[in-house]
Amino acid sequence: METRITSASKEVIIGEGRPTVLIGERINPSGRKKLSEAIKAGELEIIGSEAKAQVEAGADIIDVNVGAFGVDEVDVLPRAVKIAMKAVDAPLCIDSSNPDALVAALKVYKGKPLVNSVSGEEHSLTKILPVIKEYGAAVVGLTQDDEGIPAGADRRVAIAHKIVERAGKMGIPPEDIVIDCLAFAVGADTESGQVTLETIRRVKAELGVNMTLGASNISFGLPDRDLINYAFMSVVIAAGATSLIVNVARVRPIVLAADLVLAQDKRARRYIDAYRQRQKLQ
């Protein structure tokens, strides 16, 4: 199953057996004081520079999120999307849970974006899915519902089924659904990683859709977070995750190595090209 995301001039395909698609997470004011303050002040040029830096680091898709306290997303999100489109040719992931902001952003977007996100919550399904259908976008589906985020794999898998089924009834094909099986800190619950892996394996087997993940959540609150993130990313890719939402500059070499080992990098071309590029920069 292939999920095709496009800009005005570039296509990115998310799919099993293909190189893992990296979605750059850095245009998100959560936990980033400088970016948050700039967005609140209307100084949106920083979005262009952040987008460029992530593409230069190897991002395939750029996530654009302007959700900060006091920000009018309906006004700011389409402006941010325009700036990101002008700065890079990579496709965008438009990141908001506000249906009106999504509509405003989708109206100005050139291509087929990924939207982050819909969930199994009833209000989300009824408000977000019609927007996805109208604008022909692809969408990330979060495995949480009106009862919250499930602790175990059974309910997460059931929610994934629900999202795909509800989308299908609206005419949204399964290839346009990218399921996020969710990852939580193993420091708080040592079973968290295993639950995520089980969910990924079952979603792959039962639905066959593409999957993504905010991979760094797994290490929150622990020392040497990069070590945990690297180990986790390798095993989730092996389990079936076909894209990751990450700080690309930090993790791309590890993802390329995992792709190589899993036969998702024919003749090791991407791995060797990235190595040579790093050598030039030293």
Q: 210 forms bridges with which residues in the sheet?
A: 178
Specify the pLDDT at position 56.
95
In whole angstroms, give the CA distance from residue 114 to residue 28. 16
Q: Give pLDDT tens digits for 64-101.
A: 999 988 999 999 999 999 999 999 999 999 999 999 99
163-186 tens-digit pLDDT:
999 999 999 999 999 999 999 999
First to last CA, the chain: 39
Q: For the residues 233-251, what does the mean pLDDT come to?
A: 97
| Burial of 13 per CB tally in 10 Å (0-12, 13-18, 19+) | middle
31 pLDDT band, cuts 50/70/90, is confident
Report residue 23's pLDDT band, with 50, 70 and 90 as the boundaries. Answer: very high
Q: Into which CATH architecture does domain 2-281 fall?
A: Alpha-Beta Barrel (3.20)
Q: Per-residue pLDDT for 282 more than 80?
A: no
Strands, DSSP E only, in 51-105?
Answer: 61-64, 92-95
- CB atoms closer than 10 angstroms to residue 53: 16
Q: What pLDDT score was predicted for residue 280?
A: 87
Determine the average pLDDT of the residues in 53-58: 96
The C-alpha atoms of residue 163 and residue 161 are separated, in whole angstroms, by: 6
Q: Render pLDDT for 205-234 as a digit per residue (tens, 0 to 9).
A: 999 999 999 999 999 999 999 999 999 999
Domain ranges of the chain: 2-281
Could you give the angle at which helices 153-169 and 122-135 cross, rounded to 10 degrees?
40
pLDDT tens for 35-51 read 999 999 999 999 999 99
Element (H, E) at 274: helix 269-281
Residues 111 and 62: their CA atoms lie apart, in Å, by 14
Chain-wide mean pLDDT for the chain? 96
User: Confidence band (pLDDT; 50, 70, 90) for 30?
Assistant: confident
What's residue 145's pLDDT?
96
- Quick check: 240 and 264 in contact, CB under 8 A? no
